[in-house]
Chains A and B, each alone.
Chain A
Amino acid sequence: MHTQNNLAIALRHVKKVYDGGCKPIKIFDDINIEVRRGEFVAVIGPTGCGKTTLINLIAGFDVPQAGNIYVEGVDITKLHEREKTVFRAKNIGVVFQVHNLIPTLTVYENVELPLVLLGVEKNERRKRVEELLEHMFMGGYANRKVSTLSVGECQLVNLARALISNPKILLMDEPIEYLDPLTTDTLLAFLKGEIFRKKTVLLTTHKRKVAKIAERTLYLRRKIP
């Protein structure tokens, strides 16, 4: 076990159960996970094993029934919703499985949104968004509405939005799930690039090809009900 100071993410005895109507669905009974600072970890497992739930719990999108979740040394299960929101904005970037971009805003505005929420000044925002979009070869897309983009392009915007606030931790929920092979390769090449160095990355996938780029792989098994 590593010292608490070295850890970016630590789950201790976490239990998560969903209300499944007639009978509760137990996702995690007593899960313990540790991710060191700057580590790139892939979580691999079949559909329904709880990969998305794991991301949701670490990001503070959902609450566990029991246990503690430490992110950058802070127990987020003890934080009030308002404190958790501020903490997330400053420390965590999330790439959703379904991109969840705001369809009525442009690519530029979607990427700019986290910086607006953090209160970054307008000129600084423009500089950072333009630089990142150029870096991701998406400079020409800035003024396009996201409703006019393909799924792959949306996923790249989703990634750009997660990276724009320069978070210490990046959580990626099956980022290549709906991508074609070419866009997948582009994204994987990007994940190996400079921008991801020194960041703690937790990526979920059910594809071994994606898991191979990580330093460490964790396996989640599906519990047979």
Chain B
Amino acid sequence: MSLWFALKDFRARISKIRFIIFTTAFFSADFTFIFILLKSVGYVQMFAPISMFVIVALAITLLHLEDKTNLNIGVLRALGANQSTITLIFLLELTLVGVIGVFTGIILGFISVVAVSTLTHLTLPKAATLTEAFSLIILSCLMGVLAGVVACLISIWKKSAKTVVETLAYTK
């Protein structure tokens, strides 16, 4: 059931989801681009503050997916969906959106770095260093997604724990 509704909702809210994927990809791409460039010039001290910024930015971006969900939650509860089913719907949606956005961004960021290095004759780090850099980038981005997903799910769980009357009262 959760997957059925998540996919329908995914399709139905496509404009919002497209915007969130685009923003998530934008942050991830920028992060990949900047970090690999810093790694190329051997200046890696900036990694920690930049990764913190990206984690917060990704989490805030994903929080938009949770906005205006009271009607859906209220109706689903009224028709017989329990708290776990509703939370699972949003877990699926958030994970799909977050992972698609992050990996698209990382790929685009890497393509941009390769393009810039070709144009400016900048030497990219060696394969081993690059692998290490990608591990850190993926880890940071996924931490951002995780933070966003957890924050959203706490909110969804709280909303779906209310009575149907209370949930629907906040939709108008």
Contact = CB atoms under 8 A, between A and B. Distances in A.
A binds B: yes
Interface of A: 56, 59-63, 81-82, 85-86, 88-90, 94, 96, 98, 100-105, 109, 113-114, 116-119, 161
Contacts of A56: 164-165
B13 interface: yes
Interface of B: 1, 4-5, 8-9, 12-13, 71-72, 74-83, 85, 161, 163-165, 168, 172
Given A61-B165, A100-B75, 13 more contacts: A62-B164, A63-B163, A81-B161, A88-B80, A94-B78, A98-B172, A100-B71, A100-B168, A105-B8, A105-B12, A113-B5, A116-B1, A116-B5
B165 A89 contact: no
Contact of B81 (A62, A109, A117): A117
Given A100-B74, A100-B75, A102-B72, A118 B165 contact: no
Given A62-B165, A82-B83, A86-B80, A104 B9 contact: yes
A116 B75 contact: no
Contacts of B5: 113, 116
Nearest to A122: B4
A81 B75 CA distance: 15
Contacts of B163: 61-63
A81 B1 CA distance: 19
Contacts of B164: 56, 59-62
A102 B12 CA distance: 10
18 contacts: A56-B165, A62-B165, A82-B83, A85-B80, A85-B82, A86-B82, A100-B71, A100-B75, A102-B75, A104-B13, A105-B8, A105-B12, A113-B79, A114-B79, A114-B80, A117-B80, A118-B80, A161-B79
A161 B79 CA distance: 9
Contacts of B168: 100
Contact of A109 (B1, B8, B71, B161): B8
**Which of B71, B79, B164, B172 has the largest number of chain A CB atoms within 10 A?**
B79
Contacts of B71: 100, 102-103
Nearest to B79: A114
Contacts of B12: 104-105
A100 B4 contact: no
A66 B163 CA distance: 17
B135 to A, nearest CB: 38
Nearest to A62: B165
Nearest to A162: B79
A103 B9 CA distance: 10
Contacts of A81: 82-83, 161
7 residue pairs, one from A and one from B, having the closest CB atoms: A89-B80, A104-B12, A61-B164, A117-B80, A62-B165, A61-B165, A114-B79
Nearest to B72: A102
Contacts of A96: 78
A101 B75 CA distance: 7
A59 B164 CA distance: 10
Contact of A119 (B1, B13, B77): B1
